[in-house]
């Protein structure tokens, strides 16, 4: 239980920020799922377009502090590798 007015305010603020962060992570996951589904579908052009849309969202998550930069870098790298494998060599 909060003992000071500042601690009570922090609790309220943390609840608001948690909601915003949860929505942001959910949005990022949706973009990643779109990339994965287009890769599974085998359409190289659609996969590249979905990846191009997902990358800024993922990096925005890094700048907002909801995801670690190395985590996002790893995920983008792996998705890009899979998307590139679809295109003819």
**pLDDT above 70 for 89:** no
Buried b / exposed e over 41-57, threshold 16 CB at 10 Å, is eeebebbbebbeebbeb
Predicted local distance difference test score (pLDDT) of residue 87: 80
CATH of the domain at 47: 1.20.58.110
Residue 36 sits in which domain range? 5-86
Predicted local distance difference test score (pLDDT) of residue 1: 83
Predicted local distance difference test score (pLDDT) of residue 83: 95
- How far apart (Å, rounded) are the C-alpha atoms in residues 23 and 83? 26
Predicted local distance difference test score (pLDDT) of residue 88: 74
Predicted local distance difference test score (pLDDT) of residue 29: 98
Number of domains in the chain: 1
């Amino acid at each position: 239980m909060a003992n000071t007015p500042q601690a009570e305010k922090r609790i309220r603020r943390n609840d608001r920020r948690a909601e915003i962060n949860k929505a942001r992570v959910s949005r990022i996951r949706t973009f990643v799922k779109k990339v994965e589904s287009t890769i599974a579908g085998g359409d190289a052009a659609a996969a590249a377009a979905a990846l191009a849309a997902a990358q800024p969202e993922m990096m925005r998550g890094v700048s907002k502090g909801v995801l670690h930069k190395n985590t996002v870098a790893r995920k983008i790298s792996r998705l890009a590798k899979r998307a590139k494998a679809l295109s003819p060599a």
